């Protein structure tokens, strides 16, 4: 009994240690004063000032645009790649899977510098395109890893049965495979979108003149001294990422619940 309570207290202390700074940041984003130690009253002026800042508005535009476009392209590439990898056999499949794992476990700074050197080698001008390509590159492996488990759960005979009944491979892909792996595709898209918004290191090495994102803007602002608008911006980014994570988890749980209900109806 004592051990049970000690475990709960220990876990509580860990969560407090992890989330207390975030809570303090969010609370003081509504502080009327510039002081980060004294609460002088509730105010939204830092949020108003935040959206009046031209640099932040531009960074927000590039962040959202690159996140949406890169997530869409990465999802398409990742879906096609995952289906191809899943159909492979033997050592070739293992080699391709290990190659796909490499960008995931590779430190971001190595990926960022490698892409920067690649663009310089091919005399590619840094800007919107280089940042977009970089985000697609590091997002695609995560999409593949999100879809592969759904493909492994797929009955291998479903596609064959569809084609035996007269469906073309493309029709079977659209009407049989895609609907079955749709939860993985949506999860992969949301993960790619979240990772793109959150990225700093790779974006920092591949950005161009006049093209930046919110992570880089926060870093630049922090170097000049922490302003209350940083608290407001960080809080907004935190809320967006948190909502996306809740959406991903809720959708995953909903899909699992529907599958259980369908199975129970089959066995009735």
pLDDT digits (tens, 9 = 90+) for 170-181: 777 777 888 888
267: pLDDT confidence band, cut at 50, 70 and 90? Answer: very low
For residues 2-16, average pLDDT: 83
Average pLDDT taken over every residue of the chain: 83
Cβ–Cβ under 8 Å, residues 192 and 75: yes
Q: CA angle, 202 as apex, 213 and 135 as ends, to 5°?
A: 75
pTM: 0.79
For residues 236-249, average pLDDT: 78
**For the purposes of burial, counting CB atoms within 10 Å of the CB of 58, is it exposed (0-12), middle (13-18) or buried (19 or more)?**
middle
For residue 38, the SS3 value is coil
116: pLDDT confidence band, cut at 50, 70 and 90? Answer: very high
Cβ–Cβ under 8 Å, residues 79 and 187: no
**For the purposes of burial, counting CB atoms within 10 Å of the CB of 23, is it exposed (0-12), middle (13-18) or buried (19 or more)?**
exposed
Higher pLDDT, 257 or 5: 5
pLDDT at 224 over 50: yes
pLDDT at 268 over 70: no
Domains and CATH numbers, the chain: 58-254 (1.10.3720.10)
pLDDT at 77 over 90: yes
Name the H helices within 106-227: 108-121, 128-153, 156-164, 169-172, 178-198, 201-206, 214-223
The percent of residues in the chain predicted with pLDDT above 90, rounded, is: 23
How many Å apart are CA 38 and CA 28, to the nearest integer?
9
Q: What pLDDT, on the 0 to 100 scale, is given for residue 255? A: 56
Task: State pLDDT tens for residues 126-153.
Answer: 999 999 999 999 999 999 999 998 888 8
């Amino acid at each position: 009994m004592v051990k049970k309570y000690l475990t709960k207290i220990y876990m509580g202390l860990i969560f407090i240690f992890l989330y207390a700074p975030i809570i303090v940041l969010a609370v003081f984003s509504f502080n009327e004063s510039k002081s980060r130690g004294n609460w002088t009253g509730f105010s939204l002026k830092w949020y108003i000032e935040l959206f009046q800042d031209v640099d932040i508005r531009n960074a927000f535009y590039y962040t959202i645009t690159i996140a949406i476009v890169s997530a869409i392209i990465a999802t398409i590439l990742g879906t096609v790649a995952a289906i191809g990898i899943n159909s492979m056999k033997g050592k070739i499949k293992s080699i391709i899977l290990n190659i796909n794992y490499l960008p995931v476990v590779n430190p971001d700074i190595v990926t960022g510098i490698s892409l920067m050197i690649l663009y310089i080698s091919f005399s590619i001008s840094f800007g919107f395109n280089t940042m977009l390509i970089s985000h697609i590159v590091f997002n695609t492996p995560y999409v593949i890893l999100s879809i592969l488990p759904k493909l492994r759960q797929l009955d291998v005979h479903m596609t064959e049965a569809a084609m035996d009944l007269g469906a073309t491979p493309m029709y079977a892909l659209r009407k049989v495979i895609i609907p079955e792996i749709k939860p993985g595709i949506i999860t992969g898209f949301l993960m790619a979108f979240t990772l793109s918004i959150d990225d700093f290191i790779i974006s920092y090495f591949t950005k161009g003149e006049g093209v930046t994102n919110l992570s880089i803007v926060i870093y630049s602002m922090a170097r000049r001294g922490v302003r209350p608008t940083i608290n407001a911006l960080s809080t907004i980014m935190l809320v967006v990422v948190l909502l996306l994570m809740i959406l991903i988890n809720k959708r995953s749980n909903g899909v699992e619940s529907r599958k259980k209900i369908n199975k129970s109806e089959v066995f009735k």
